[in-house]
A and B are shown apart, each in its own frame.
Chain A
Amino acid sequence: MSMKDLAQLAEKMHENIDMTDQAELKKYLSGFQTLGENFIGIRKRKVTDPTSKTYQIGPKGVIESSQELVGMHVIYSGTPHHTRGTFGYWHINDVDEIYFRMPDAANQEITVCILMRVPKPGERDMFAWYCQQCSTLLHCFVYPSGDKGEGIQGIWNAEALAVTEFNSDPRFRTCINCGAAHPLGYRFYAPLNTADEEAARLVW
């Protein structure tokens, strides 16, 4: 996607999404909506909130994305990424995720738009967990989102299956390399989590 395409999309979003309409906004804040060929979500983040940090894994290891998002940030396809306190797994998808700051940001709370293309056949969404001590991949649930064609709801359903599977067996959460135990996984949407899973949200 070129900068011109992105600018046009942002303009389209401003035309279609009334940021003052709380009911409308809630649909985007609580997940993603499909707009054309893209999934779009909106997140409000407090710049000073230390529990809301996004991490990604790449050739340089685990790195933290800046919370003071200026302009645009891209999590490239295939890159494991995790936002502390928001979703309890490392998401690995086969499409780029583009984050850009909405222009109505306040000083202490920024509004970020997340944009990703709807997966095409052959593309997947993976839900993974890495050892917090040595970064060994502990468990990975693969959902062929592009082949299923079930839209964003299919991905949420897969998220539920992945988290349930990871939490169901302590062997999944025990590192085969160093033996460290990993906290429970948890879903993005809090009401779907057990009390123990919600407690894990506070931990990682």
Chain B
Amino acid sequence: MAQETGWTKVAELSEVPPGTLKAVHVNRDYYAVVNLDGSVYALENECPHRGGPLAGGALINGEVACPWHGFRFDPRSGKATMPVEHEPVARVPLRVIDGAIELDLSSRNGSEAPLDPEVGQVYEVAIESEFESQWTGALGIGHIGEYDVSVPRAKPGETRQVLVTALGKNQWTGKKEATVEVVA
């Protein structure tokens, strides 16, 4: 089967068991692939603090800790979690096809249209993990970009009002209420 433009296989899913992270490379560029309880994410490998190799660090409470100075990042969003004021690490689009981890490297330097979710807009939300008993963290993937959202505990098929926060290169930093449909 011909490979779609931009998607590059970097590892087998079996090479990155849940709770681990692994350095992968395409040519001379390295990325950190993280398996967080079965959900897989990819980040640029270079820590935005001082360039430490993130894949050589540790997963602590679901956060990637840089091996050099311990700065931590949420692998789902790339946002810095300690200290939170720090610049994020860039996420790299990832998919798993037939047990193979693929990265979409075509968008690394691309730009997306500014994101401005509208109240009432329906977003598909895939439940990833639980933060606290009352809230469920989720990664929403809509047709105009990717959003990090906090979703009240909900069952698939239910609709909830949530705060939607745009991430990364979307450059939209505010929050808006939006209706999301929880799909899985």
Contacts and interface: CB of A to CB of B under 8 A. Distances in A.
Given A142-B83, A142-B86, A78 B69 contact: yes
Contact of A80 (B69, B72, B85, B86): B69
Nearest to A60: B68
Contacts of B68: 57-59
A74 to B, nearest CB: 14
B49 A78 contact: yes
**Residue of A57, A80, A130, A137 with most chain B CB atoms under a 10 A cut-off:** A137
A197 to B, nearest CB: 22
Interface stretch (B5-13, B34-42, B59-67): B59-67
Contacts, number: 41
Interface string B135-167: 000000000000000000000000000000000
Interface in A127-155: 128, 130, 135-137, 139-142
User: Chain A, interface size: which category?
Assistant: 20 to 34
Given A59-B52, A78-B50, A176-B60, A136 B86 contact: no
A92 interface: yes
Contacts of A176: 60-61
A177 interface: yes
Nearest to B72: A137
A147 B68 CA distance: 26
Given A78-B49, A176-B60, A177-B60, A135 B86 contact: no
A78 B86 CA distance: 12
A140 B70 CA distance: 10
A75 interface: no
Contacts of A77: 50
A58 B42 CA distance: 24
A137 B52 CA distance: 15
Interface string A44-84: 00000000000001110000000000000000011110000
19 contacts: A57-B69, A57-B70, A58-B68, A78-B49, A79-B69, A80-B69, A92-B69, A135-B70, A136-B60, A136-B65, A137-B65, A137-B69, A137-B70, A137-B72, A140-B82, A142-B83, A142-B85, A142-B86, A176-B61
Given A79-B69, A140-B82, A176-B61, 12 more contacts: A57-B68, A59-B68, A78-B49, A80-B69, A92-B69, A126-B83, A136-B65, A137-B70, A141-B83, A142-B85, A142-B86, A177-B60
